[in-house]
Amino acid sequence: MPQPDIEPVNEVPVHPRPGIIDPPERYGYFDPDNRQYVITRPDTPQPWYNYITNGSFTGYVSHTGGGTCFAQGDPVEKRILRTHLHGRPADQPGRWIYIRDRDSAAVHSATWAPLYTPLRKFKYLCRVGAGYMTIQAECNRIRSEVTYFVAPDAEAELWLVTIANADRRARRLDIFPYAEFFLWSLQRDNNLDAAFKCTDIAADGRVIVHRSYYDWGEQRGGWQRQFAYFASSAAPSSFDTNLEAFVGIFRGYDRPLAVQAGRCSNFTNRGGEPIAAMQIPLTLKPGASRSFVFAVGYARSDAEAQRPGRRVANVAFARQQLGKVKQRWRDYLAHFQAQTPDPTFDVPFNTHLPYQSAITFICSRSIAPYLLTGTRGLGYRDSNQDALGAMPYQDPQAVRRLIATLLSIQRPNGEACHDFFPGPGAGRGGGYSDDHLWSALAVEWYVKESGDLAFLDEPVGFHESDKQASVLEHLERGLRFTERNLGAHGLPLLRSADWNDCLNAFPGAESVFVAGLYCAACKALEALYRAIGNKARARRCARRHATMAERINRHAWDGQWYLRLITRDGKPVGSKSNRYGKIFIESNTWVVIGQAAPPRRARAALDSVRKYLATPYGHRLCWPPYEDYDPNVGTCTIFAPGQKENGSVFCHTNPWLVVAEAMLGRGERAFDVFRRLSPYTKDQIQNIHCAEPYAVNSTIVMPPNLEAGRARNPWLTGFASWLLACMGRAILGIRPDFDGLVIDPCVPRWPAFRVQRIFRGTTYHIEVTNPDRVERGIKRITVDGRELEGNLVPAVEDQPEVHVQVLMG
Ligand code: GLC
């Protein structure tokens, strides 16, 4: 066997970003006391976003008002606002508020965009909070504040706006709020002719209703109207409902005709590009201010649009609803809080990461600033993993519903559909080797979190079948599906792909990653059977695990690490004998997590991962990246080297490494893997990272790409859930079990830390001291003053608080 030399690749050179001279050092900072990130200047390296949602109506909004929103959890068919993907300036159109001085005709916008007034004339601050985004500005001696959020009690997003006169003389202004409607689905909206033909707007005083037709398909009633509205708390003096009338043709959003003219055209759009804009006159004495609410909402009829439109576009209602939003997220975050010696840990853990994980729990990968997709619903593997991180915080009923919904698109043969679509309420796609296995982990974690053993007996249907089976039986069928789809070495067939979607051109190949995941699923089922007293089945799961572990170690060990695949003709992928893709992170971490690696091999595999895949920005997915399209490897090879599945830091995989390192008790290693990717760390390198530091992202570009270190695809990524899970479970070491909380920290020799964790309704105050500065190990635990045997703090009933003292050593 040839032994090509492999050099470690840890160095990542930094190249200056093209197109920007003398960038400012920073664009914002974390404000943990207020649980916010504060953006201090609007000219960030790229738009920085936040999500706003009530669980059903959801939007994302940038720090200059851009983004979109959708109703009833359905971004595929109920998308309301338009946003362009490729336009320049980026992130247009937006939820803008033009402010025009009636005397001087000077114009600026409360959101900076789309006028981009020079910063010496424009003061700006943006507060990014859980559930809201507040943009404050001062320009032309007018102060403004806009808070965007979704009303908990309405299917609508609200813009709560205050305009204040900071001048010494009275000011006569017109404000022009602007929203641009989308034609419900990407396909519809892309076809301008269709958009022109069918759009229909009704404007009536304070409410503009967009009531264009949508084709629901034969089975769901064919062409029917659906209704979105734009409503204002103040009466407009004029309005526009058509893009051409408001903006014009050969001009941009920075100089809309109507704003320049100082009045809208009162044109009612029936067959043109639908927008909502209003002119609201306002005279303010020196020091005076006035508040408004603009609402973008969804309704089922004209009348329904009028009524809630008027009800929700109301300042008192909006203030009350904003209070409710803030309270809701305070309560949510309170489920798990930590004070450690390291802000790298605490700042993301206590606010931003659980918030983001809640967003992925709702949105899966359906719609994000860089994924304006019209074809993805809730991903089966994605949402099962999203549930993992969100469990300590979520209402157990919501978790139960999500897991059961996903199980309902499993086929009777055990294979799962790839996506669930909330609109039609159905699954689609399939053919992957991993999807069905993730349910085993989600169910195990859920039952341990909630104590809801009854869920295992719950009958759940199947995809395109009249049959039903218990949750546990669904999981069994999943395991059996894998067992019926094994290759020549007895390892699971890759089928169309596994978790790594783009390693997909190997008909007949076997996946070592899926073998590891299957082992973890066997362990999960073993635990569940044991919990319900079915010892025989539990023992059977242990045997299944042992059989697969033996095969992995017989066929997939490459000397220093585990292979990624074995092709149909027996060739290895992820081997030192390969030219590209010599080593992959997924198989090596999951063989350890699935408890299939003997201790020496586990250590060697993770050491190799560290040696070859670690970079200052995180650990790469594989190395070296493929240089050219290789039809024998898959679509990852069409990605530029260092992008996405072709050798970037695919962040989602890094928490797996944290978990695996912690399972070996290597607390410093685990923390080091975590630290490289912590949002707090990324906040120190804003000009390299480029994306919003307060939200984690999917991949980090790697060499040879010149943008190495740059973050791609923030927000909807499985990384959020796994990062949160590895922090709580692997590093803090607090893991629910059927009868209580396991305490098993694995830390970078912290001297002490504290945790508050709500578990089944009881708040656990956990104080850990570590005078010997060990990485792992427990000397003593006392619970409410009584010494405990072992490290399982028992669950209690009807006791609001429990105090736990932990001595490591
Ligand atoms: C994307 C997909 C996810 C997949 C991952 C790796 O994030 O949403 O399902 O596992 O890419 O290919």
- pLDDT tens column, 286-297: 999 999 999 999
- 501 Cα to the center of ligand 1, angstroms: 6
The residue with greater pLDDT, 195 or 807, is 807
* Arithmetic mean of pLDDT over the chain: 95
Query: Which protein residue's CA is at the shortest distance from atom 9 of ligand 1?
Result: 382
Q: Which among 623, 714, 588 is positioned nearest to 50, based on CA atoms? A: 714
Ligand 1 atom closest to the CA of 376, numbered from 1: 8
Helix (H, G, I), strand (E, B) or coil at 547: helix
pLDDT of residue 666: 97
Tell me how far apart the 2 most distant CA atoms of the chain are, in Å: 85
779 phi and psi, to 5 degrees?
A: -90, -45
pLDDT of residue 9: 59
Residue 311 clears pLDDT 80, i.e. is over it: yes
pLDDT of residue 305: 84
State both tokens at 123: 């003061």
Query: Which protein residue's CA is at the shortest distance from atom 10 of ligand 1?
Result: 499
Q: Is 715 in the pocket of ligand 1 (CB under 6 A)?
A: no
d(CA 223, CA 806): 63
Banded pLDDT at 2 (limits 50, 70, 90): very low
Least confident of 20-34, 371-385, 568-582, 695-709: 371-385
Ligand 1 atom closest to the CA of 645, numbered from 1: 12
Residue 539 clears pLDDT 90, i.e. is over it: yes
Residues that are catalytic: 501
Ligand 1 atom closest to the CA of 497, numbered from 1: 12
Which amino acid does the sequence have at 470? S
Answer whether 321's CB lies under 8 Å from 255's CB: no
- 717 Cα to the center of ligand 1, angstroms: 8
For the segment 614-640, what is each residue's pLDDT rounded down to a tens digit? 999 999 999 999 999 998 899 999 999
pLDDT of residue 3: 43
For the segment 226-276, what is each residue's pLDDT rounded down to a tens digit? 999 999 999 999 999 999 999 999 999 999 999 999 999 999 989 999 999
pLDDT of residue 192: 80
Which are the contacts of 11, defined by CB distance < 8 A and separation ≥ 6?
A: 615
Residue 359 clears pLDDT 90, i.e. is over it: yes
pLDDT of residue 219: 87
Q: Is 499 in the pocket of ligand 1 (CB under 6 A)?
A: yes
Q: Is 434 in the pocket of ligand 1 (CB under 6 A)?
A: no
- For a pocket test of ligand 1, which of 366, 433, 499, 501 has the largest count of ligand atoms closer than 8 A to its C-beta? 501
Residue 572 clears pLDDT 50, i.e. is over it: yes
Residue 319 clears pLDDT 80, i.e. is over it: yes
For the segment 749-805, what is each residue's pLDDT rounded down to a tens digit? 999 999 999 999 999 999 999 999 999 999 999 999 999 999 999 999 999 999 999
- 370 Cα to the center of ligand 1, angstroms: 14
565 phi and psi, to 5 degrees?
A: -145, 160
The whole-angstrom distance between residue 735's C-alpha and the CA centroid of its chain comes to: 22
Query: Which protein residue's CA is at the shortest distance from atom 6 of ligand 1?
Result: 500
pLDDT of residue 372: 67
Runs of H (alpha helix) within 532-653: 535-555, 585-593, 599-613
Q: Is 381 in the pocket of ligand 1 (CB under 6 A)?
A: yes
pLDDT of residue 436: 98
- 382 Cα to the center of ligand 1, angstroms: 7
Q: Is 365 in the pocket of ligand 1 (CB under 6 A)?
A: yes
For the segment 500-530, what is each residue's pLDDT rounded down to a tens digit? 999 999 999 999 999 999 999 999 999 999 9
- 430 Cα to the center of ligand 1, angstroms: 14
pLDDT of residue 180: 97
Residue 677 clears pLDDT 90, i.e. is over it: yes
Q: For a pLDDT cut of 70, what percent of the chain falls above it? A: 99
pLDDT of residue 638: 96
pLDDT of residue 7: 55
> Exposure pattern of 702-736 as b/e (b: 16+ CB <10 Å)?
bbebebbbbbbbbbbbbbbbbbbbbbbbbbbbbbb
Question: What residue has token string 């002490």?
Answer: 752
Ligand 1 atom closest to the CA of 698, numbered from 1: 7
